Homo-oligomer: A and B are copies of this chain.
Amino acid sequence: MRDIGFIGLGIMGRPMAERLLGAGYAVTVFNRTPQKAEPLLARGAHWADSPEAVARRSELLITMVSDSDALQDVARGPQGVLRGIRPRAIHVDMSTVAPHTVEDLERTYRERGAVFLHAPVLGNWRHAAEGTLLIFVGGDRQAYETCEPVLRTLGQKIWYFERITRATHMKLIANSFIASMILTLAQAFVFGRRVGITPTRLLEILDASALNAPMYQSKGRTMCERDFRPNFYARHMLKDVDLLLEAARCANVPLPVFGVIRELFVATTARGFGEEDYSAVLKVMEEMAGLAPEDGAS
């Protein structure tokens, strides 16, 4: 397995494609905004004019796109992957999308004699660049084994699930921790500042406790610095909480706490912070408390 296609060169996709190039694979890329492909072409990647064209040249095809609709377009569009996919080729989508979308695609690909796997990841662009993503893979076992070496280039830790939607669900659950933890942190920051406990002190104490998670420290620091440049867009977090609630509804699981969390991310995008990092939910909490950004922040 040498010829790999890669579609979707955003914050995550680009460093992932770079790692594959670095590992010696022949990589053909496509992106809706072609300019984003340039650094990869400079490093030896090939360009193709459509998902269909990428598919024609690839044994293994990887996609990293923003949501279920984008994935459906890439797969089923007029110049989509399904028009060009080779027999027995494998399409591994690594985006966070809806469980029913991956189920549909798995069925369609099987009917065409190809394979669709879902392999969503946990981690940010730094992990992507370092090949330390956590990967949840779901779908046909043999296909997974075939492409496992490629996936190991992107992340050493891989969990495999026979049923494709388990990987999808696992990713939604992982993101539920992120969403809930950022809100716990944001609410603690706002309350702490109002009563005279600085965020820095709070992080130091958290760090010494059994409650600490590396994410609290890394996000906590950028929030202290009011650095809301996106590692993961607030609007994507909203999308993922939506997918979570929708999937939980289908599974007959009420998630009352996330019902509120969702609305706070709706507020985050409503207030114009959708293109910032999801930790910008802090600003919504501050506004609700009537707290100026600088009050008690040092």
Chain A residues with a Cβ under 8 A of chain B = 122-123, 134, 136, 157, 159, 161, 163, 165-166, 169-170, 173-174, 176-178, 180-181, 183-184, 187-188, 190-192, 194-197, 201-202, 204-206, 208-216, 218, 238, 242, 245, 247-249, 251-264, 266-267, 269-272, 284-285, 287-291
Contacts and interface: CB of A to CB of B under 8 A. Distances in A.
A267 B288 contact: yes
5 closest Cβ pairs, A-B complex: A259-B259, A252-B270, A254-B267, A254-B266, A210-B214
Nearest to A185: B177
Contacts of A163: 196
Contacts of A218: 210
Contact of A195 (B123, B166, B196): B166
Contacts of A287: 287-288
A260 B252 contact: no
Best-buried of A134, A251, A291 by chain B (most CB within 10 Å): A251
A202 B216 CA distance: 19
A173 B188 contact: yes
Contacts of A247: 191, 195
Contacts of A161: 196-197
A254 B263 contact: yes
Contacts of A269: 252
* Copies of this chain in the oligomer: 4
Given A187-B258, A210-B215, A254-B289, A169 B197 contact: yes
A249 B136 CA distance: 29
A271 B252 CA distance: 8
Nearest to A99: B195
Nearest to A211: B177
Given A211-B177, A270-B290, A289-B267, A165 B195 contact: yes
A234 to B, nearest CB: 13
Contact of A173 (B202, B254, B255): B202
A158 to B, nearest CB: 10
Nearest to A177: B211
Contact of A191 (B191, B194, B253): B253
Contact of A260 (B173, B242, B253, B256): B256
Given A176-B184, A188-B173, A210-B215, A205 B159 contact: yes
Nearest to A270: B252
Given A208-B134, A211-B215, A215-B211, A288 B270 contact: yes
A204 B174 CA distance: 12
A211 B174 contact: yes
